Structure 1
Amino acid sequence: MPLMDKWNREILRLAVPSVISNVTVPLLGLVDLAVVGHIGNETYISAIAVGSMIFNVMYWLLGFLRMGTSGMTSQAFGRHDRKECLDILARTLLIGIGTGLFFVTIQRGLEWGMLRLMNTPETSWGLVGTYFRIVIWGAPAMLGLYGLTGWFIGMQDTRMPMMVAILQNVVNILASLFFVFVLDWKISGVAAGTVLAQWAGFIVSLSAACRRIRRPVRGFDLLAGRLFRAQLHATWRHVQKRKDAWGEFFRVNKDIFLRTVCLVAVNFFFTSAGGKQGAMLLAVNTLLMTLFTLFSYLMDGFAYAGEALSGKYYGAADGEGLRIIVRRLFAFGGLMAVLFTAVYAVGGEGFLRLLTDDTAVIASARPYLFWAYLIPAAGMSAFVLDGVFIGLTATKGMLFSTAVAMATFFTVYFLFWRQLGNDALWIAFLLFLAARGAASFLWMHRYSIIT
C-alpha cells in the first residue's frame, strides 16, 4: 500500500486543516486559563472552569447544528444536489442564530440556574457571574458558526474553518492580553476577549459562505453569477415552505441531541464532582482535562475528514470507497494515540506549568497525571467512529454507544468513589471513553464496513 495513495491524500487534505483548526479551538479556553492562572489563585481558575462549563453545556446541546449539517451536506454534495446544500445552510442558520438570541433574552434565568446546578464554590460566585453576563452575548455568533462550520466541512472544505479558528484565537489572545494587563479588567477582560473573538469568527465565516455561494467552485457550480440574489430569496422561501425537509432535519438531529445530552451529563457531573471536593481539586481536574481537550480536538480533525468523506461516498453509493476510508481513518487514529501517549508521558507536568505558576495546584495534580496519560488509548476509536456515524447520518448508533458509555461512567463512579475519591472519577471517565468506542464498533458492524 503506497504511503500517499489517493485515499490517504484525500483524508489528509481534509484532516490537516481540521487538525490545525481544532488544535487552535481549545486555545480560546486555554488562553483564558493561562491569563487567570497568572493574575490570581485557584479561585480564578475554578471560576473560569465553571463559567466555561456552563457555556459548554449550552452549546454542546446544540452540537447537531454542526454535526447534522456536516453529514447531510456531505451526502447532498455526493449526490450533486446543489439546491439542497443551500437549503441545509439556511435551516441551520435560522435555528442557530435564533437559539442564540433566545439564550441572550433569558440570560438571568440561565445564570441563576447554572450557578446552582454546577455546585459553584461560594468563593467563585461573583467571578463566574461576571464572566457569564459578558460571554452570553456571543451565543448567536457561536451557534451560527456551528452551522457554518458543518456546512463547509460537508462541502469538502476544511480550510475555511481553519482560517476562521486561527483568526478567532489571534483576536482572543490579543484582546484578552490588552483588556487584562493594559486596562486591568481582570476576569471581565478575559470574557470580553472571548466574545470579540466569537463575533469576529462568525462574521468572517458568513462572509466566506456568501462569496462561495455567489461564484462557481471547481466541480460544483453552486448558484453562480447574476442569479445569486433572486435564487437566494427563492431558497429562503423554499426553506420556509418545505415542512418535510424540516421534519427530516430534526429527525436526523434528534438522536444527536439526545447523544449530546448524555455527553453533557458526564462532563457536567465530572466538573460538579470536582467542585464538591473543593476549589483545589476542581482546579486540578480542570488543568488535567486540558490534556483530553487537546487530544480530542486533534482527533476530531480526522473525524471531520470522516464526516465529509464517508458522507460523500455514501451519498454517491460507493460502498468500496467508504470501507477503504474507514480503515484508513483507524490507521491514522492509532498513530495519533501512540504519539500523544508518548508526548503526555514525557511532558505532561511541563504542560501544566505553562497554564499556571501556582505550585500548590501543580503538586496536587501529580497523583492524577497517570490517568491523563491513558486518555488517547481509551478515546481513539470513539472519535473516529463518531465521524463515520455523522457522515452516514447513522445517528442512532451514536446515541446507543454514548448511552452505554454514560451508564458505565455513573456505575463505576458510584461503586468506587467512597474508597478512591478523585481517582474513581478519572477511572470512570476513562472507562466512559473506552465503552463509547467498543459500543460504536459493535454498532458499525451493521453496515459491513469494518471487516
Structure 2
Amino acid sequence: MTFRHPHDREILRLAVPAFGALVAEPLFLLTDSAIVGHLGTVSLGALGVAGQILGTLVNLCVFLAYGTTASVSRQVGAGNHRAAVRQGVDGIWLAALIGVALIVAGRPLVPVVVRAFGASAVVAPQAETYVHVSLLGVPGMLIVLAGTGVLRGMQDTRTPLIVSVGMFAVNAGLNALFVLALGFGIAGSAWGTVLAQTGGAAAYVVMVLRGARRYGAPLRPDLGGLRASATAGVGLLIRTLGLRVVLVVATMVAARLGDAQIAAHQIAANVWTLTAFALDAIAIAGQAITGRQLGAGDVAAARAATRRMVEWGVACGVVFALVLLAVRPWLPDAFTADADVRSQLLGALVVVALLQPIAGVVFVLDGVLIGAGDMTYLAVAGVIQTAAFLPVAWLAYALGGGLVSLWLAMGVWMAARLVTLGLRARTDAWSVAGAVRG
C-alpha cells in the first residue's frame, strides 16, 4: 500500500492524534488501579466493579461525541462556521443536561446497580462510595465527549489528544496525592478522577466559548438544536446498546463455560480492544472527513475518501492479523502460567487474528455512516447484528463448544456488521449532501 493517494495525508493527520486520545482514555482506570491496588484486594475489586459501571455509562453516552462530530463537520464543509459552533454549543448543553439528570436519577440507584454488576457484600460498600463520588464528575465527563466531538467536527483531533494527556496527568497526580499521601482511600481516587474530568470539561467549554465569540454564535441553548441532537443520539444509543449487549453476553457465556475460559476470554478481549483503538482512529477520521465533504456537497470526494479509508482499514487489519499470529505462541506467557488458560487463549487468538481484516472494514464503514449522519440505519443495523449473534452465542454455550466457538460467534457478529454496513455503503442512501442531513 503506497501513501500517494490524495486523501492519505488528511487521514493520517486526523487518525494519528485520534489514536493517541483513544489510548489515553483507558489509562485513567489503569492508573487508578495501580494506585488503589495499594489499598488492598477489596478496594481493587470495588474499583473493578465501579469501573465497569462507569465504562458502560461512557459507552452509552458516546453518541454525544459521534453525533456532534457529524453535525459540526457538515456545517464546516458548507462553510457555515457560525452554525458549526452553534451545533457544538447545543451538544455541550445536551451533555450538561444529561449529566445533571444522571446525577439526580442515579444516586438513589447506586446500591442496586453495584449489586447488579456482581459486587460481593464485602466489595459493595467501597464500590458504592466510588460510584457516588464519580457521579459528580458525570456532567464533566459528558461535556468532554461533546467537546471532543466539536473539535473533531472542526477537523481538529490534535487538541483532544492534548486535553486527554492533560487529564491523564492531572488524574494520576491527584490520585497519588489523595490516596497515597493524604489517605483518603478509594473515595480519594474517585475525587481525583472527578476533578480531572471537570478540568477537561472546563477546557472544552473555554474553547467553544472562544469559537462562539469568534464567529458570533449565541451561547443560549436552542430547543430545535437540542431536539436534533437528541434525535440523532437515539439512533446512536440503540446502535451502541447493541454493541454492549454483544460484549456483555460474550463475557457471560465465557464465564459459564468455565474459569479457564473466562480468564482466557478477558485476555483475548483486551487484545481485541487494543487493535480496535487503531482501527477506531481511522473511523474517527472517517466521521470528520465524510461529514465535511457531504456538507460541502462533494459526494464524489466523500465516496473516494471512503474507498481509501476502507483500504487503510483492510491494510491495518492484515498487518494486525499477521502480527497476532506471529506472537501468538508467546503472547499467553505475558498474562498467565495456567496451562488450561493458555490452551484456551491460543485457540481464541487465532480467531481474533483472522477477524482483524473484517474489523478494519467494519470500523471504517461505521465511522463513515456516523459522519454521514445515517443514524436511523445504524440503529436498525445494530438490532440486526445483535440478533445474528445471540442465537449463535447460545449454541456455543449449549453445545459446549468452548472459547473458540464463542469467538466464532463473535465472528458471525462481525460478518453481520460487514454485510449490513457494506450493503448500505454501496447505495446512495447514506451520501446525502448539504449542511444538514435532510
Distance (whole Å) between structure 2 residues aligned to residue 132 and residue 248 of structure 1: 31
Which one of the candidate residues 362, 379, 387 is aligned to 2:367? 387
1:380–1:437 CA contact under 8 A, matched in 2: no
1:121–1:275 CA contact under 8 A, matched in 2: no
Moved more, 421-430 or 307-316: 421-430
Cα deviation for residue 424 of structure 1 reads: 4.5
Moved more, 273-282 or 373-382: 273-282
Going from structure 1 to structure 2, the CA distance change for 1:197 and 1:269 (only over 3 Å counts) comes to farther
Cα deviation for residue 283 of structure 1 reads: 5.8
Distance (whole Å) between structure 2 residues aligned to residue 154 and residue 338 of structure 1: 29
Whichever residue aligns with residue 437 of structure 1, its letter is L
Going from structure 1 to structure 2, the CA distance change for 1:6 and 1:396 (only over 3 Å counts) comes to same
Whichever residue aligns with residue 207 of structure 1, its letter is V
Identify the residue that residue 25 of structure 2 maps to in structure 1: 25
Distance (whole Å) between structure 2 residues aligned to residue 116 and residue 322 of structure 1: 47
Structure 2 residue 345 is the aligned partner of structure 1 residue 368: yes
Identify the residue that residue 438 of structure 1 maps to in structure 2: 419
The count of aligned residue pairs is 427
Cα deviation for residue 302 of structure 1 reads: 1.0
Cα deviation for residue 73 of structure 1 reads: 0.8
Identify the residue that residue 429 of structure 1 maps to in structure 2: 410
TM-score (norm 1): 0.83
Distance (whole Å) between structure 2 residues aligned to residue 167 and residue 346 of structure 1: 35
Identify the residue that residue 12 of structure 1 maps to in structure 2: 12
Which one of the candidate residues 230, 242, 257 is aligned to 1:250? 230
Distance (whole Å) between structure 2 residues aligned to residue 188 and residue 426 of structure 1: 37
Cα deviation for residue 248 of structure 1 reads: 3.2
Going from structure 1 to structure 2, the CA distance change for 1:189 and 1:298 (only over 3 Å counts) comes to farther
Cα deviation for residue 421 of structure 1 reads: 5.0
Whichever residue aligns with residue 407 of structure 2, its letter is W
Cα deviation for residue 198 of structure 1 reads: 1.6
For 1:201-240, list aligned pairs within 5 A.
201-215=200-214, 222-223=215-216, 232=218, 235-236=219-220, 239-240=221-222
2:238–2:379 CA contact under 8 A, matched in 1: yes
Cα deviation for residue 295 of structure 1 reads: 2.0
Which one of the candidate residues 238, 261, 266 is aligned to 2:241? 261
Whichever residue aligns with residue 428 of structure 2, its letter is Y
Structure 2 residue 302 is the aligned partner of structure 1 residue 303: no
Going from structure 1 to structure 2, the CA distance change for 1:49 and 1:440 (only over 3 Å counts) comes to farther
Going from structure 1 to structure 2, the CA distance change for 1:37 and 1:370 (only over 3 Å counts) comes to farther
Distance (whole Å) between structure 2 residues aligned to residue 345 and residue 123 of structure 1: 41
For 1:383-422, list aligned pairs within 5 A.
383-418=363-398, 419-422=400-403
Moved more, 412-421 or 323-332: 412-421
Cα deviation for residue 437 of structure 1 reads: 2.3
Going from structure 1 to structure 2, the CA distance change for 1:38 and 1:286 (only over 3 Å counts) comes to farther
Cα deviation for residue 345 of structure 1 reads: 4.2
Structure 2 residue 293 is the aligned partner of structure 1 residue 313: yes
Identify unmatched segments of 5+ residues in structure 1.
Answer: 216-221, 224-230
Distance (whole Å) between structure 2 residues aligned to residue 129 and residue 359 of structure 1: 33
Cα deviation for residue 105 of structure 1 reads: 2.1
Moved more, 55-64 or 338-347: 338-347
Secondary structure of the residue that 1:19 maps to in structure 2?
Answer: helix
Whichever residue aligns with residue 134 of structure 2, its letter is V
Whichever residue aligns with residue 421 of structure 2, its letter is S
Identify the residue that residue 226 of structure 1 maps to in structure 2: none
Distance (whole Å) between structure 1 residues aligned to residue 27 and residue 265 of structure 2: 17
Whichever residue aligns with residue 328 of structure 1, its letter is R
Q: How large is the Cα RMSD of the aligned pairs?
A: 3.2
1:263–1:402 CA contact under 8 A, matched in 2: yes
Structure 2 residue 72 is the aligned partner of structure 1 residue 73: yes
Distance (whole Å) between structure 2 residues aligned to residue 429 and residue 352 of structure 1: 20
Whichever residue aligns with residue 203 of structure 2, its letter is V
Going from structure 1 to structure 2, the CA distance change for 1:137 and 1:269 (only over 3 Å counts) comes to farther
Cα deviation for residue 93 of structure 1 reads: 1.4
